[in-house]
Amino acid sequence: MKRIFSSRVFPLAVGLGLRLLFVLLVPATSGDTVLYEQIATNWLKHHAYAMDVHGALTPVDIRMPGYPAFLALIYALTGRTGESARWWVMLAQIPVDLLGCLVIARLAGMLTCPSGNDARGERAYTLALWLAAVCPFTANYTAVPLTEVFACFWTALACCVLVVAIETVKKPDFLLRGSEMPSRRGVEYAALGAGLIAGMGALFRPETPLLLLTAAIVLGVLLLRLAQFARWFLAAAAMIIGCLIVLSPWALRNRLTFNEVQFLNPKYSTLPGEIVPYGFMAWERTWLYRVRDCYLVPWKLDEEAIDVDDIPRRAFDSPAEKQSVRDILEKYNQDLTLTKEEDDAFGQIARERVRRHRLRIFVWIPVARAVAIWFTPRIELLPLSGNVFPLAEMYDEDPVDQGFTILFFLLNMVYVGLGAWGARKLWHASPAIRPVVAFLVLYMLLRTAFLTTLETPEPRYVLECFAGLIALGAAALAGRRGVAGEAA
């Protein structure tokens, strides 16, 4: 039995079974699924990165090209497109996700032992592989045509290379005194490799270069404290150059198509001819922090009627303000199109709310969003309501639904808590590992801060942090880095 659970094949087999279970029993779609499918189909059939807008094939830049390229490849191999190819797309995502599990395991081994050849390194590798393989929050995204599987894989791989870059800076302590000079062996090469990998990740999710920013900060602390500004500059430049090399073809395409050099997709995803609802988004940022509210208000915009009574009470400071919103929505609901005048009216309400409650808007709401995206059960793709309260009422209505929701909530707490505990334990266990711990934790903090600025705080956006959570937790469970690890 011990040999089975220490084997690397067995957790992968269990992970394969779990992912097949999701694909076969609860396949899902998202609003972005159809969008990606249409772009991929047009790219394959018409050789144009475009969508059908009012009956015309129109070039777009609202999504990065990585995932449509993957879909187009599957379409070409299977001879199917769109909905008829979804099953093949999901099956193809399974080995990518399992490969990501192996990368996470390698990251955990690196945290425990750089050479990865001692007992602690092997134990951390196995523990991380199990934790990643059976994690339902990442596994269930193999059963939906979305970018999460690839975003998690490239993030984990970039983390491994950036850990190599950080650990080549030979310094016995972090934020404490040290006298050893940085290694002359490949900080820049590792940084360049990380830039290339982060660029690949950015082709799927544009915020992936946040990893490079985080690494630049940590390398800056390490190298600048040793008066090695030139080496820090070269490492940072190598990361930037690597990332831009990968993104340059996309930027060139945008220059030729839209007459602008654009390495990432625009912040606001609108089709040609659509207005950017700045006022509406400013208004929703003054109260929206739960993903369930997105289904009731922002995700209905320009598609469905919005009922003012579905909007939470916290969106209104007074009955008069609620009536103002009601009046705007009555006009909008007539043709389901937000006009410039209606958007400006929402903007005026947003400015008044900010003026009255700056602390609430700029502190409480972002904090509430951060808590929501980290601790909301990640079951939006599963056939579960996600409702726990009121306890008695939900139990009487559907005890199985409530039970699974509570189970996923607690399981999510286990993964988040394990990562936090692992970071704390590793930080105090060995000064040599502190730069890497700081890198992983700082990335999670920066990513969370970035996500609180988005229009829709979806819990799936922090799945890219699970590589770090699992690696930190597994490394701490395996035992602290030994003397050999510190000296390596």
In a domain, 67, yes or no: yes
Write out pLDDT tens, residues 110-134: 988 755 457 777 889 999 999 999 9
In a domain, 386, yes or no: no
> How many Å apart are CA 12 and CA 99, to the nearest integer?
9
Torsion of CA 462, 16, 204, 209, to 10 degrees: 50
In a domain, 122, yes or no: yes
**Quick check: 452 and 396 in contact, CB under 8 A?**
no
Residue 175: pLDDT band with limits 50, 70, 90: very low
Determine the structural domain holding residue 234 and report its residue range: 2-260+405-487
In a domain, 316, yes or no: no
Q: Which residue has the tokens 């800056």?
A: 220
Count the neighbouring beta carbons within 10 Å of the beta carbon of residue 220. Answer: 16
Q: Nearest-CA neighbor of 421 among 346, 366, 373, 477?
A: 477
Q: Nearest-CA neighbor of 64 among 42, 86, 49?
A: 49
Residue 179: pLDDT band with limits 50, 70, 90: very low
**Quick check: 187 and 236 in contact, CB under 8 A?**
no
Q: What is the pLDDT of residue 4?
A: 61
Residue 187: pLDDT band with limits 50, 70, 90: confident
In a domain, 160, yes or no: yes
- φ, ψ dihedrals at 260, nearest 5°: -150, 140
Mean pLDDT is lowest, of 37-51, 374-388, 409-423, for: 374-388
- DSSP at 298: G
> How many Å apart are CA 444 and CA 210, to the nearest integer?
10
Q: What is the pLDDT of residue 212?
A: 96
> How many Å apart are CA 25 and CA 400, to the nearest integer?
17
| % residues pLDDT > 70 (the chain) | 89
Q: What is the pLDDT of residue 3?
A: 62
Residue 6: pLDDT band with limits 50, 70, 90: low
Residue 486 pLDDT > 50, yes or no? no
Q: What domain count does the chain have?
A: 1
Q: What is the pLDDT of residue 290?
A: 86
Q: What is the pLDDT of residue 169?
A: 80
In a domain, 334, yes or no: no
pTM for the whole thing? Answer: 0.89
> How many Å apart are CA 1 and CA 232, to the nearest integer?
49
Q: What is the pLDDT of residue 72?
A: 97
Write out pLDDT tens, residues 371-415: 989 988 777 777 777 666 666 666 667 778 778 888 888 999 999
In a domain, 202, yes or no: yes
Mean pLDDT is lowest, of 66-75, 266-275, 331-340, for: 266-275
Residue 122 vs residues 125, 132, 350, 473, 478: alpha-carbon distances, Å? 5, 15, 54, 14, 9
What's the rounded mean pLDDT across residues 202-218?
95
Q: How does 144-172 read in b/e, with b if 16+ C-beta sit within 10 Å?
A: bbbbbbbbbbbbbbbbbbbbbbbbbbbbe
Q: What is the pLDDT of residue 114?
A: 58
What's the rounded mean pLDDT across residues 457-475?
92
In a domain, 162, yes or no: yes
Q: Which residue has the tokens 């799927």?
A: 204
Q: What is the pLDDT of residue 389?
A: 64
Q: At what angle do helices 434-451 and 210-224 cross, to 10 degrees?
A: 140
What's the rounded mean pLDDT across residues 56-64?
90
Contacts for 12-16: CB closer than 8 Å, 24+ residues apart: 12/98, 12/101, 12/102, 12/129, 12/133, 14/133, 14/134, 15/97, 15/98, 15/101, 15/132, 15/133, 15/134, 15/139, 16/94, 16/98
What's the rounded mean pLDDT across residues 155-173?
83
> How many Å apart are CA 348 and CA 377, to the nearest integer?
35
Beta-bridge mates of residue 53: 56
Q: How far is CA 488 from the centre of its chain?
A: 33
Q: Nearest-CA neighbor of 218 among 165, 180, 179, 172?
A: 165
Residue 431 vs residues 160, 165, 418: alpha-carbon distances, Å? 19, 17, 20
What's the rounded mean pLDDT across residues 40-58?
91
- φ, ψ dihedrals at 53, nearest 5°: -120, 115
Q: What is the pLDDT of residue 215?
A: 96
Q: DSSP readout, 26-71?
A: -----HHHHHHHHHHHHHHHHS--EEEETTEEEE--SS-SHHHHHH
Residue 185: pLDDT band with limits 50, 70, 90: low
| Torsional sign, CA 96, 6, 419, 443 | negative
SS3 385: coil
Q: Nearest-CA neighbor of 71 among 95, 88, 53?
A: 88
Q: How far is CA 13 from the centre of its chain?
A: 26
Q: Which residue has the tokens 């983390």?
A: 159
The pLDDT mean for the chain works out to: 87
Which range of 118-122, 216-220, 430-434 scores highest in mean pLDDT? It is 216-220
Beta-bridge mates of residue 58: 51
More confident residue, 89 or 231: 89
